[in-house]
Structure 1
Amino acid sequence: MIKETSAVKFRQNLGEMLNQVQYRHDSVLINKDGKPVAALVDVRLFDRIRRMQGRFDAICDRLEAGFSDTPEAEGLAEIDAAVAEERAGHSKQSTD
């Protein structure tokens, strides 16, 4: 479960929030001036996020290397065309 709280309430209830994260595996989204600025998550989730970030970075590096000779405008046009084609397929499926 994800709970939201203000930075002030978070400071006032830090111990309780830590217990919720540690024992109930909740997450806490911390807002400042009404905008999200940080999150407190269970350490297992944090480790998983870090592993996923590493994989994501590696994939991005491989894609960048593989398309390094493709002009940016051409690459963006291909992406736009693929997105439009996918959206058209989803629209057609929902009407069938």
Structure 2
Amino acid sequence: MINEVNAAVFRKNLGEMINQVQYRHDSIVIKKDGKPVAALVDTQLFERIRRFKDRFEILSQRLAKAYSTIPEEDDLDEIDTIVSEIRHS
């Protein structure tokens, strides 16, 4: 479950929040002035996020390298064509 709390409540109940994350595997979104500024997640989820981020970076670099010789205009035209085909199918 994902809970949302403001920063003052989070500070006041830090021990309880850590227990929720550790034992119930909840995630807590911490808000300041009504806006999300941080999240507390269990370490398993954090490690998964880190691995996905690393894999995403590697794939992004491979794609950038593979398409580095193609002019940007050609890329945009190809994207427009694919989007058009999908919308009309």
Do they superpose with TM above 0.5? yes
Alignment deviations for residues 2-52 of structure 1 (CA, whole Å, 9 cap, x no partner): 000101111111000000000000000111111111100010000011111
Paired amino acid for 2:6: S
- Give the Cα separation in 1 of the matches to 2:8 and 2:80: 43
Query: In angstroms, what is the RMSD of aligned CA positions?
Result: 1.3
Q: The residue matched to 2:39 in structure 1 has which SS?
A: strand
Give the Å deviation of 1:69. 1.1
1:52 matches 2:52: yes
Q: 1:80 to 1:2 in 2, by over 3 A?
A: farther
Q: 1:67 to 1:45 in 2, by over 3 A?
A: same
Q: Percent identity?
A: 58
- Give the Cα separation in 1 of the matches to 2:84 and 2:8: 45
Give the corresponding residue for 1:64. 64
- How do 1:2-81 and structure 2 match up within 5 A? 2-81=2-81
Aligned residues between the structures = 89
Q: Which runs of 5+ in 1 are unaligned?
A: 90-96
Give the Å deviation of 1:75. 1.5
